[in-house]
């Protein structure tokens, strides 16, 4: 029997991740993400329906919306199919998908927001939660969940089929440990097909976490010493919690001065869930959820928070217009002593990208702009290490923009036989 992999999204791109595997006649869909693109936000569900009118199982690797943002639409197309993910992802996912619907509705008023929330409720009710290293059996195929590092709850999947054949689907993966999550754990058994992310595979960028942390602390010290304010725009899930723990640790080790830090936007809600899941406090005397004020509108509340706090950590990470971080940035723009510290990836359409790359936008900001590179993804060396350690017969890269080395890259809608 022919075995197939078809990326119906998230092949040669970052966004709308969704991969159909057909092994020994069993149809498994891994992930159901969205793109930050209003015109075509979803994976190609039409193609999916035509190839697989029925699915045997749906797996969600983690709660970033490029992997789960369209789960409610997918689940409405396959109302009988079980959905599997880890406990952590199941909890984080509901908040993240709900927010993605909200954000889409702001941009696209024709969206039937309430229908989407109803579909999300139905999808959430069908999720079957599993622990790491649990095995799910679908007919003659066994799927085991491995820790992928990256963010809390992120899983890689070992899919075993036939006479001792296996596929390893990494999802987003990191071999470096972070403050909130350890490194990925790879299986010891042999792998025939490795399907891995390639976010930074085609880039020369290397991630040295210790160096990034030291440089980040140096920037913080400089701004606080000259009595400026700091804004750190962050992704709500993963990066925000890393930055919170880094600042707390920096103060504890006296690498940065004690200061008041407020966490705002979706980052505040996600951090509350992280506290429960990690059974560890993220908020403390110095780092607090941004207060809400009765009688103040959103802008006034941001202004008040900037008066009270030395540092604000807020979503969105890319300074998208209309988000809390954008409002904070517009206040800080007038103050030459203050700084905006970026810590992650930015798409070209975002205001953050324009601010760092467009002279005119840049000139309108008096505050300092600084970028420090943190990553929850493997760089090229780490990805090569994963390939070396698993020593597969065949490698397919997905979740990236292929550069010169396209020999092993899986493109959207491509039928890959193995
Ligand atoms: Zn991710
Ligand atoms: Zn991703």
Cα 55 to middle of ligand 2, angstroms: 23
Q: What angle do CA 39, 342, 278 make, to 5 degrees?
A: 90
CA dist., res. 101 & res. 75, Å (int): 15
CA dist., res. 51 & res. 272, Å (int): 41
Cα 8 to middle of ligand 2, angstroms: 15
Cα 90 to middle of ligand 1, angstroms: 15
Residues within 5 A (CB) of ion ligand 1: 64, 172
Cα 303 to middle of ligand 1, angstroms: 32
Ranges in the chain annotated CATH 3.40.50.10890: 209-371
Q: CA 162 from chain center: how many Å?
A: 33
Q: Do residues 313 and 285 lie in contact, with contact meaning Cβ atoms separated by under 8 Å?
A: no
CA dihedral 30, 169, 276, 315 (to 10 degrees): -80
Ranges in the chain annotated CATH 3.60.15.10: 4-203+376-417
Among the bound ligands, name the one nearest to the CA of residue 398: 2
Cα 207 to middle of ligand 2, angstroms: 17
Structure tokens at 79: 């109302």
Q: Which CATH class name applies to 4-203+376-417?
A: alpha beta
Q: What angle do CA 325, 329, 335 make, to 5 degrees?
A: 150
CATH number of the structural domain 209-371: 3.40.50.10890
Per-residue pLDDT tens digits of the chain, which is 418 residues long: 789 999 999 999 999 999 999 999 999 999 999 997 778 999 999 999 999 999 999 999 999 999 999 999 999 999 999 999 999 999 999 999 999 999 888 888 888 889 999 999 999 999 999 999 999 999 999 999 999 999 999 999 999 999 999 999 999 999 999 999 999 999 998 899 999 999 999 888 888 889 999 999 999 999 999 999 999 999 999 999 999 999 999 999 999 999 999 999 999 999 999 999 999 999 999 999 999 898 999 999 999 999 999 999 999 899 988 889 999 999 999 999 999 999 888 878 889 999 998 888 888 899 999 999 889 999 999 999 999 999 999 999 999 999 876 679 999 999 999 9
Among the bound ligands, name the one nearest to the CA of residue 63: 1
Structure tokens at 42: 């979803």
Cα 17 to middle of ligand 2, angstroms: 7
CA dihedral 375, 356, 202, 315 (to 10 degrees): 40
Residue 405: per-residue pLDDT: 66
State the CB neighbour count (10 A cutoff) for residue 406: 11
Beta bridge partners of residue 53, listed in sequence order: none
Nearest to 14 by CA among 59, 48, 65: 65
Cα 89 to middle of ligand 1, angstroms: 11
Residue 118: per-residue pLDDT: 97
Judge if pTM exceeds 0.75: yes
Cα 58 to middle of ligand 1, angstroms: 18
Cα 110 to middle of ligand 2, angstroms: 27
Among the bound ligands, name the one nearest to the CA of residue 174: 1
Cα 416 to middle of ligand 1, angstroms: 23
Among the bound ligands, name the one nearest to the CA of residue 15: 2
Q: What angle do CA 235, 239, 244 make, to 5 degrees?
A: 115
Cα 228 to middle of ligand 2, angstroms: 34
Cα 150 to middle of ligand 1, angstroms: 7
Cα 176 to middle of ligand 1, angstroms: 15
């Amino acid at each position: 029997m022919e075995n197939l992999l078809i990326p119906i999204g998230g092949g040669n791109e970052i966004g709308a991740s969704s991969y159909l595997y057909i092994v020994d006649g069993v149809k498994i869909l891994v992930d159901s993400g969205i793109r930050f693109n209003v015109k075509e936000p979803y994976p190609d569900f039409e193609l999916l329906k035509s190839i697989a009118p029925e699915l045997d199982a749906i797996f969600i690797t983690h709660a970033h919306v490029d992997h789960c943002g369209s789960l409610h639409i997918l689940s409405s197309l396959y109302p009988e199919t079980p959905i599997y993910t880890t406990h952590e992802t199941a909890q984080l996912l509901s908040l993240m998908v709900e927010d993605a619907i909200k954000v889409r509705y702001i941009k696209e008023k024709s969206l039937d927001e309430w229908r989407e929330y109803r579909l999300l409720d139905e999808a959430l009710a069908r999720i079957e939660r599993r622990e790491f290293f649990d095995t799910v059996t679908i007919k003659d195929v066994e799927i085991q969940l491995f820790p992928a590092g990256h963010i809390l709850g992120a899983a890689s999947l070992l899919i075993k089929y036939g006479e001792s054949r296996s596929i390893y689907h990494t999802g987003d993966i990191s071999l470096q440990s972070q403050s909130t999550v350890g490194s990925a754990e790879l299986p010891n058994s042999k792998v025939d097909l490795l399907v891995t992310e390639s976010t930074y595979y085609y880039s020369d960028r290397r991630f040295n976490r210790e160096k990034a942390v030291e440089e980040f602390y140096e920037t913080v010290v400089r701004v606080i010493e000259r009595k400026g304010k700091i804004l750190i725009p962050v992704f709500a899930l993963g990066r925000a919690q890393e930055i919170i723990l880094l600042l707390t640790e920096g103060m504890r080790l006296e690498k940065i001065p004690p200061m008041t830090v407020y966490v705002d936007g979706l980052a505040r809600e996600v951090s509350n869930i992280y506290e429960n899941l990690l059974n560890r406090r993220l908020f403390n005397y110095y780092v607090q959820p941004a207060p809400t004020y009765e009688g103040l509108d959103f802008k006034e509340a941001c202004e008040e928070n900037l008066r009270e706090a030395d540092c604000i950590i807020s979503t969105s990470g890319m300074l998208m217009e209309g988000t809390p971080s954008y409002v904070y940035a517009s206040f800080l723009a007038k103050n030459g002593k203050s700084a905006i510290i970026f810590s992650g990836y930015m798409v070209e359409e975002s205001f953050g990208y324009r601010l760092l790359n467009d002279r005119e936008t840049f000139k309108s900001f008096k505050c300092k702009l600084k970028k420090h590179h943190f990553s929850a993804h493997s760089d090229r060396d780490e990805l090569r290490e994963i390939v070396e350690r698993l020593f597969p017969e065949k490698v397919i890269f997905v979740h990236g923009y292929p550069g010169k080395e396209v020999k092993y890259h899986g493109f959207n809608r491509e039928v890959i036989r193995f």
